[in-house]
């Protein structure tokens, strides 16, 4: 009887292990194949949209990511179904799990919502230089969770989409033209009108500066050591920095060649002595003069004593000589 029960249990365990093993093997096979298909499909979408001009460059990486994650979700459902889990139960479990995960990952899910808003309203695009709060750089890619940027000095930045979306976005590349301001200071002794005309002609002579709006120059501020002038013109956005660097250098070299001087910051101090200060200084100097004169007066008795001593010495000598003469 016992041997029969052991044999029955053994057969049941073998059947269960065989069935579970086949299910596990099938699940692993489905997972591997599904993972490979998801990667290939994402690469295919990315390659197909690479040269598509009708699709914005910002949407291309996001479209491939959406395709990949959608296939992975179906693969996960297929794996669970292979173990005998009903699809309706899976959907109910996913709904409950989604609610719990949503409450636990509010910040992370807000990045997805912010990424969707960025893609819909498009305040920034790939290859545009933007500034959002304390972050600035050229946009490399916009994903579901983060925005990837590259700074001018080659530093990689991965910023959460919610941080970008919740900040004021300043886009330096969106408009086709930008205003260029060249600032330089001249000495107060220089001819201001001549310097203004010279700066205006200097900016207008550059071929990259647009004729409309017309370049202009004006006095910006009266500084402590210089008259600060500004020459203004408009250039294409792609030519902004090369033009700015060239005109800044020329404004220094050519202004000095034309006879204008560019002063360095300095401050002149003029000390004015008031009558009250002068009288106080004189009264403070008088006691010092009297004190210095006293030692000179104190030396006179010493001189008299020395002369008296000389006279007494002379009398003594004369007295000694007199008896000698009498003898």
We report the CATH number of the domain holding residue 252 as 3.30.70.100
Selection from 234, 165, 171 nearest residue 206 by Cα: 234
In a domain, 315, yes or no: no
Full domain range(s) for residue 86:
2-104
Q: Which residues contact 41 (CB under 8 A, 6 or more apart)?
A: 67, 68, 71
Identify the pLDDT of residue 164.
Answer: 93
Judge contact between 67 and 41, C-beta under 8 A.
yes
Residue 152 CB partners (closer than 8 Å, separation 6+): 137, 138
For residue 15, what pLDDT is reported?
Answer: 60
Half-sphere exposure of 167 (CA within 13 A, CB side): 17
> Quick one: 96 and 38 in the same domain?
yes
Model pLDDT, residue 199 = 95
pLDDT recorded at residue 272:
80
Q: With a cut of 50, list the residues of the chain below it in pLDDT.
A: 289-293, 295-327
Long-range CB contacts (within 8 A, 24+) of 248-254: 248/182, 250/202, 251/182, 251/184, 251/199, 251/202, 252/184, 254/198, 254/202
Report yes or no: 236 and 209 within 8 Å, Cβ to Cβ: no
In a domain, 223, yes or no: yes
- Specify the pLDDT at position 221: 93
Last residue of a domain, one of 257, 282, 310: 257
Are 16 and 79 within one domain? yes
Same domain, 210 and 191: yes
- 230 is a domain residue: yes
Based on the structure, what is the number of domains in the chain?
A: 3
- Structure tokens of 129? 């230089």
What is the CATH classification number for the domain harbouring 98?
A: 1.10.287.1260
Q: Is residue 33 part of a domain?
A: yes
Q: Is 269 within a domain?
A: no
Both 134 and 81 in a single domain? no
pLDDT score at 95:
75
Secondary structure in 3-state letters for 5-52: HHHHHHHHHHHHHHHHHHHHHHHHHHHHHHHHHHHHHHHHHHHHHHCC
CATH (domain of 138): 2.30.30.60
Assess if residue 317 is contained within a domain.
Answer: no
Residues 63 and 43 in one domain: yes
- Is residue 94 located within the same domain as residue 37? yes
- Decide: 235 and 243 in contact? Cβ < 8 Å: yes
> Which residue in this structure is represented by tokens 């005998």?
84
**What is the reported pLDDT for 156?**
95
- Do 191 and 159 share a domain, yes or no? no
- SS3 of the chain: the string is CHHHHHHHHHHHHHHHHHHHHHHHHHHHHHHHHHHHHHHHHHHHHHHHHHCCCCCCCCHHHHHHHHHHHHHHHHHHHHHHHHCCCCHHHHHHHHHHHHHHHHHHCHHHHHHHHHHHHHHHHCCCCCCCEEEECCEEEEEEEECCCEEEEECCCCCEEEEEHHHHHCCCEEECCCCCEEEEEEEEEECCCCCHHHHHHHHHHHHHCCCCECCCCCCEEEEEEECCCCEEEEEEEEEEHHHHHHHHHHHHHHHHHHHHHCCCCCCCCCCCCCCCCCHHHHHHHHHHHHHHHHHHHHHHHHCHHHHHHHHHHHHHHHHHHHHHHHHHHHC
Please indicate, yes or no, if residue 316 is contained in any of the structural domains: no
Do 59 and 74 belong to one domain?
A: yes
pTM: 0.59
State the CB neighbour count (10 A cutoff) for residue 251. 21
Residues 136 and 73 in one domain: no
Is the domain of 22 the same as that of 79?
yes
How many angstroms from the chain centroid is the CA of residue 78?
49
- Residue range 230-262, pLDDT digits in tens: 999 999 999 999 999 999 999 999 999 999 998
Domain for residue 164, yes or no? yes
Task: Name the domain boundary from 52, 72, 104.
Answer: 104
Judge if 38 and 83 occupy the same domain.
yes
**Beta strand 146-150 pairing with 135-142:** antiparallel
| Together in a domain, 48 and 20 | yes
Of 150, 171, 192, the residue at which a domain comes to its end is: 171
CA distance linking residue 39 with residue 69, whole number of Å? 9
């Amino acid at each position: 009887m016992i041997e029969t029960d052991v044999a029955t249990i053994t057969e049941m365990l073998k059947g269960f292990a065989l069935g579970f093993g086949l299910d596990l093997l099938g699940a692993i096979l489905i997972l591997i194949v599904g993972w490979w298909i998801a990667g290939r499909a994402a690469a295919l979408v990315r390659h197909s949209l690479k040269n598509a001009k009708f699709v914005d460059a910002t949407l291309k990486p996001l479209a491939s990511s959406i395709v990949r994650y959608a296939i992975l979700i179906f693969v996960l459902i297929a794996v669970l179904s292979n173990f005998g889990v009903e699809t309706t139960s899976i959907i109910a479990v996913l709904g409950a799990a989604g609610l719990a995960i949503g409450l636990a990952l509010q910040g992370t899910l807000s990045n997805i919502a912010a990424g969707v808003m960025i893609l819909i309203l498009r305040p920034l695009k790939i290859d545009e230089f933007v500034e959002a709060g304390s972050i600035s750089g050229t946009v490399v890619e916009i994903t579901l969770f983060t925005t990837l940027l590259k700074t001018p000095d080659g530093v990689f930045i991965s910023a959460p989409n919610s941080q970008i979306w919740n900040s004021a976005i300043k886009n330096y590349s969106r408009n086709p033209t930008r205003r260029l301001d060249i600032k330089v200071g001249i000495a107060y002794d220089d001819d201001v009108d001549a310097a203004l005309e010279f700066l205006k002609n200097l900016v207008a002579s550059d071929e990259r500066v647009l004729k409309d709006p017309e370049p202009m120059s004006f006095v910006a501020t009266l500084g402590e050591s210089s008259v600060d002038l500004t020459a203004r013109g408009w250039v294409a956005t792609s030519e902004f920095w090369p033009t700015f660097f060239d005109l800044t250098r020329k404004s220094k070299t050519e202004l000095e060649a034309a006879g204008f001087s560019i002063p360095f910051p300095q401050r002149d101090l003029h000390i004015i002595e008031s009558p009250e200060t002068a009288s106080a200084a004189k009264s403070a100097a008088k006691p010092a003069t009297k004190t210095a004169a006293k030692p000179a007066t104190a030396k006179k008795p010493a001189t008299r004593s020395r002369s008296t001593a000389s006279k007494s010495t002379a009398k003594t000598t004369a007295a000694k000589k007199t008896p000698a003469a009498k003898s």
